[in-house]
Amino acid sequence: MQNLKSLRKEHNLSQQKLADILHISQQSVYKYENGITSPDIETLIRMADYFNTSIDYLVEYTDISHKIEPVENHMLNAEELHLLNAYRQLKPSQKEVVQIVIKEYLNNSL
């Protein structure tokens, strides 16, 4: 659980402080971070909630560090799907430009 250790350090927490927050022992945090043992599901949920991330990220099943938000099931036509896929390939700075253009277009067309 290297991501747990990284998150703990990013938040400037000692193992003891994290243990206190999660209501577990410092030894448990040490064992989780060093792969000696694994936390139970309830502890994983508390960790994910505290760090606002997903359990998948904590256990290194994904490299997406933010919490996965629920997605509504919408039907997209072929053109919308193509645009969405193209948007997802953009760099964050390029996505910002697209968002600004859309917002400006909507503000000026109302």
pLDDT in tens, 20-30: 999 999 999 99
Virtual CA dihedral for 64, 69, 71, 72, nearest 10 degrees? Answer: -170
Domain ranges of the chain: 2-58, 78-109
What CA–CA distance (Å, rounded) separates 10 from 81? 37
User: Percent of the chain, pLDDT > 90?
Assistant: 70
User: Percent of the chain, pLDDT > 70?
Assistant: 96
> 87, 98 in Cβ contact below 8 A?
yes
Domain at 2-58: CATH architecture: Orthogonal Bundle (1.10)
What CA–CA distance (Å, rounded) separates 76 from 27? 50
* Global confidence as pTM: 0.62
> 96, 88 in Cβ contact below 8 A?
no
